[in-house]
Every structure is written in structure tokens, then in C-alpha cells.
């Protein structure tokens, strides 16, 4: 190979392989562009909370459940992988700015009449798209906007999982409370049946009263059995939400004896405006619109001329006669007619912009509706806490009076059974109202786009 070709080879390698020369495997820092892996810390978790892949033996609090969900639910890995895919595609788009270097080596034996000879050749070719009227720029912008959409989708998924974990946790706690309530109702029914049986034995009660009390006891037992089955189902759902098999065994922390002193009053218009600025799914929709707009620019640029630079060197040996070759060229490619391909590609891309914009506007309206409903539900739950507190107090007093009157022989068994049923229902509604308040508060935070550990940590630190 001649000295001129050796110099040309050196120039080609210098132009085409800067990343390899620097020993890099990610020259565009695609991994750095990808969002962080979903974790408790990414959701504003305070303190050291390493991810665990097994259920602890200690009773689970709401924060424990959220930690395990964010660490183990497959959706976190799915959205993170999706974002990393899109980050790599940004690298693919940026790679179009670099030249291509191709090497070729061939050997063969030729036969001409009765003669034969060997033919060997090698070539190294560098090609570089110098100018393309914005095609690569539009492609990179499209990829970057799609990466932004993927990152926002990851954030939205993280908040949805956070809310799902809390909903499953409080649902399991409510089912557990139902077991306690139905067990207490069963105990009261047994006491009522014992009183009816005692009165019947001494001749002060009727067989009808005794049968009514026995029927009430059987119904209370059936309600307790159903509540226990539902509680087991909610634990399986909670295990699934945390990323474990439904049959995994674990315990829940005790239901708080004192329910929240709920005070809530905010301007609904301010909440809706905040949601439209913070909601990650709305940010994702906006990024999708911008990506579609970049696709329009890309479709238009694909129908424009391009300028490419190419250079290369080669070596050929035919029958023992060798020669070195080299070339440098500049190519202007001007699309003249492509069967209206560019025209329809542009129309399709423009329609895609309209589609993405309509989806974004639809989501903006849905955001307002989500916030409105969550706001009203939280207000209702706040008022229900006070109402159920009064309900329990009156039901307890009514049950005590009815039981005393029945034992004294001045009340009926029907009055006693009615009072006992009302008390059991009131206690269950009181606990359910408190747990609902926690869920609706988290739901409102999620609809605003602000759901993270700051909603839970004050309660752990002993603050209201």
C-alpha cells in the first residue's frame, strides 16, 4: 500500500472513530438522558430506605407498603425499560450526524479459457452526509420529545402505583376492620341470644323471641365468615400490588385508634391550575404533540436534496499484479419524483399533530374533572368523619339502653337486635370513613400530580 493511501487511511480512522479511540461505549450519554430508576427516593422518600425483595416479618405500615410496591411491582421496571429504550433511540438519531466507515475484503479465483488466476481486493470507504435541509435535526428533536414523554409517563406510573398501594393497603385495613366489627356483632348477638334463652327458660320469654335471637346470631356468624373471606382476598390483592404472589404471608400494622382530625379547605380553581402545570401525564401528552410537530419537519425534509461526502482507498491484486486506488467525491442527491410519497407523509404527520393535540386537550379537560371529583370526595369524607362519630356515640347508647330494657323484661328482643345491628354498622362506617379520608386525600394529591412520601411522612413523625 502506498504512503499516500496510508495517510488517507489515517485521516479516515481519525474522522470516523473518535468514540472508539476514546474508549467510550456511550458517546452520546444515552444512559444519562434516561430518567432515574423508579425508587422510594425518587418519590421524595426521606431517610435510608433500601429496596427489599422479600416481605418483612414485622407488621406493614402504609409507608412500608409503598416502599415495597415501588421497589418490586413489575410496572416500575416496565416504564423504566421503556424510557431507556427511548433514550437509546435519541442516540440512534444523533448517530446520523457522524460519518459511516465501511471495510471490505474479498478473494476469489477466476477462470478464463484454460487459464486461472487469483483475485484479491480490499477497500475502506468513508461516507458522510454533510447537509440534509434539517432532516437529522428534526429526527433528533422527535426522539428527544418522545424521551420527555417517556420520562413523564414514568412519573405518572410512579404516582399511580403509589396511589394503588395506598388504596390496597387501606382496603385491606377496612376489610380487617369489618372482621372486627362483625366479630363484635356476633359477640353481641350471642349475648342477646343468651338473654333470650334465659328468659325463655324461666317462662318470661316467648319461643318467637328465642327464634329471632337465634336467627340473628346465625346471621351475625355468617356475616363474620364473609368478612374474613373478603379480608383474605384484600391481602392477596395487596400482595399483588407490592409485586409478590397473592399467597405470601404478612401482617398489617394496627388500625389507628384515633382517626384523623380532618380539616380541608382549598380553592378548587387553584388546584385545577396546579394540576394542569404538574400532572405528568399531561406533560407527556404535550411532549407527544411536540414530537409529532418534529415529525412534520422530518417528513418535509425527507423530500429535499442532500449533500454527501465520500472518500475511500482500495487495494487490488489480479494474477499477481497489484494496484492501489483512492477516491474523494461530493454527491448532490435531488429527489425529483417519488410517487407523491413525501406529500402523503407530510399529510399523515400533520394529521398526527392534530390527533395528539386533540388528545392533549381531552386530557386537560379530564384533569379538571379528576381534580373536581377528588376534591368533592375528600370534602364528603371530611364531613363523614364528624357524622360517623356522632352516629357511633348514639348507637352505643341505644344498644346499652335496649340491652338493659330487655334484661329487665320491659323491652322486646326485636328492639335489642335492631340496636345491636345499628351499633355494628355504625362502628364499621366510622372506621371506613377514616380510612376513606386517607384514600381520598391521596387521590386528590395524585390528580394534582403531587403524590409522594410527603403525604405520609408527617404522620410517621408524629405531626398531624
What is the mean pLDDT for each group of 10 consecutive residues in the chain (464 residues)? Answer: 52 51 71 89 78 90 93 93 95 93 89 83 92 94 96 94 95 91 86 80 77 87 94 96 94 77 70 93 96 95 92 86 88 90 94 97 96 93 89 91 83 82 86 89 93 72 35
Residues 251 and 265 in one domain: yes
Within a domain: 273 = yes
52 inside domain: no
Residues 158 and 296 both lie in one domain: yes
Q: Is 23 within the bounds of a domain?
A: no
**pLDDT score of 117:** 82
386 shares a domain with 329: no
Residue 100 is predicted with a pLDDT of: 92
Note down the domain range covering 122: 99-131+306-337
Residues 258 and 365 in one domain: yes
Could you report the per-residue pLDDT of 342-362, keeping only the tens digit for each?
Answer: 999 999 999 999 999 999 999
> Which CATH number belongs to the domain containing residue 69 in this structure?
1.20.1600.10
Q: Are residues 332 and 185 in the same domain?
A: no
Tens digit of pLDDT for each residue in 26-48? 888 888 899 988 888 888 887 76
By percentage, how much of the chain surpasses pLDDT 90? 53
Closest listed residue to residue 150, CA positions, set 104, 99, 85, 96: 85
- Looking at the structure, tell me whether residues 164 and 240 fall in a common domain: yes
Task: Please check whether residue 27 lies inside any domain of the structure.
Answer: no
Q: Give the pLDDT score at 46.
A: 78
| 260 and 298 part of one domain | yes
What's the total number of domains in the chain? 2
Is the whole model's pTM more than 0.85, yes or no?
Answer: no
Shared domain check, 282 and 207: yes
Q: Would residue 381 count as lying in a domain?
A: yes
User: Are 226 and 322 in a shared domain?
Assistant: no
The confidence score (pLDDT) of residue 22 equals: 43
For the domain that residue 316 is a member of, what is the CATH number?
2.20.200
Q: Are residues 397 and 272 in the same domain?
A: yes
Q: Is residue 376 part of a domain?
A: yes
In a domain, 368, yes or no: yes
- What is the per-residue pLDDT for 189? 85
Q: What is the pLDDT of residue 53?
A: 87
Quote the pLDDT of residue 463.
34
Say what the pLDDT of residue 308 is: 94
> What pLDDT, on a 0 to 100 scale, did the predictor assign at position 143?
96
Q: Considering the domain boundaries, does residue 56 fall inside one? A: no
Query: How confident is the model at residue 59, as a pLDDT?
Result: 94
Residue-level pLDDT at 267: 79
Amino acid at each position: 500500500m502506498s504512503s499516500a493511501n496510508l495517510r488517507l487511511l489515517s485521516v479516515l480512522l481519525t474522522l470516523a472513530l473518535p468514540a472508539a479511540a476514546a474508549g467510550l461505549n456511550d458517546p452520546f450519554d444515552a444512559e444519562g438522558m434516561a430518567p432515574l430508576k423508579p425508587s422510594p427516593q425518587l418519590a421524595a422518600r426521606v431517610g435510608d430506605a433500601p429496596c427489599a425483595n422479600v416481605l418483612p416479618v414485622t407488621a406493614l405500615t402504609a409507608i412500608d407498603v409503598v416502599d415495597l410496591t415501588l421497589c418490586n411491582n413489575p410496572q416500575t421496571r416496565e416504564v423504566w425499560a421503556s424510557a431507556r429504550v427511548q433514550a437509546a433511540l435519541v442516540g440512534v438519531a444523533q448517530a446520523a450526524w457522524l460519518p459511516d466507515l465501511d471495510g471490505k475484503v474479498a478473494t476469489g479465483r477466476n477462470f478464463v479459457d484454460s487459464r486461472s488466476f487469483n483475485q484479491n481486493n480490499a477497500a475502506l470507504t468513508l461516507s458522510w452526509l454533510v447537509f440534509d435541509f434539517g432532516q437529522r435535526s428534526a429526527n433528533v428533536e422527535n426522539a428527544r420529545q418522545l424521551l420527555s414523554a417517556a420520562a413523564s409517563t414514568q412519573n405518572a406510573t410512579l404516582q399511580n402505583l403509589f396511589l394503588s398501594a395506598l388504596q390496597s393497603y387501606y382496603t385491606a385495613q377496612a376489610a380487617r376492620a369489618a372482621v372486627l366489627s362483625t366479630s363484635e356483632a356476633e359477640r353481641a348477638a350471642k349475648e342477646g341470644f343468651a338473654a333470650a334463652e334465659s328468659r325463655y327458660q324461666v317462662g318470661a320469654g316467648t319461643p318467637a323471641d328465642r327464634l329471632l335471637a337465634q336467627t340473628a346470631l346465625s346471621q351475625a356468624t355468617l356475616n363474620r365468615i364473609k368478612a374474613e373471606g373478603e379480608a383474605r382476598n384484600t391481602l392477596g390483592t395487596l400482595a399483588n400490588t407490592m409485586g409478590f404472589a397473592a399467597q405470601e404471608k404478612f401482617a398489617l400494622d394496627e388500625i389507628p385508634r384515633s382517626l384523623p382530625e380532618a380539616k380541608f379547605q382549598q380553592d378548587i380553581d387553584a388546584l385545577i391550575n396546579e394540576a394542569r402545570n404538574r400532572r405528568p401525564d399531561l406533560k407527556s401528552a404535550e411532549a407527544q404533540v411536540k414530537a409529532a410537530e418534529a415529525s412534520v419537519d422530518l417528513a418535509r425534509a425527507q423530500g429535499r436534496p442532500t449533500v454527501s461526502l465520500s472518500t475511500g482507498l482500495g487495494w487490488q491484486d489480479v494474477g499477481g499484479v497489484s494496484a492501489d486506488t483512492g477516491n474523494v467525491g461530493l454527491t448532490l442527491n435531488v429527489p425529483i419524483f417519488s410517487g407523491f410519497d413525501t406529500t402523503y407523509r407530510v399529510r399523515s404527520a400533520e394529521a398526527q399533530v392534530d390527533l395528539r393535540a386533540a388528545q392533549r386537550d381531552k386530557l386537560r379537560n379530564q384533569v379538571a374533572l379528576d381534580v373536581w371529583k377528588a376534591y368533592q370526595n375528600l370534602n364528603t369524607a371530611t364531613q363523614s368523619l364528624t357524622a360517623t362519630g356522632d352516629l357511633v356515640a348514639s348507637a352505643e347508647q341505644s344498644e346499652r339502653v335496649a340491652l338493659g330494657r330487655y334484661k329487665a323484661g320491659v323491652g322486646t328482643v326485636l328492639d335489642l337486635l335492631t340496636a345491636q345491628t345499628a351499633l355494628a354498622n355504625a362502628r364499621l362506617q366510622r372506621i371506613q370513613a377514616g380510612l376513606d379520608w386517607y384514600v381520598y386525600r391521596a387521590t386528590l394529591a395524585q390528580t394534582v400530580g403531587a403524590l409522594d412520601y410527603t403525604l405520609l411522612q408527617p404522620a410517621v413523625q408524629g405531626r398531624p
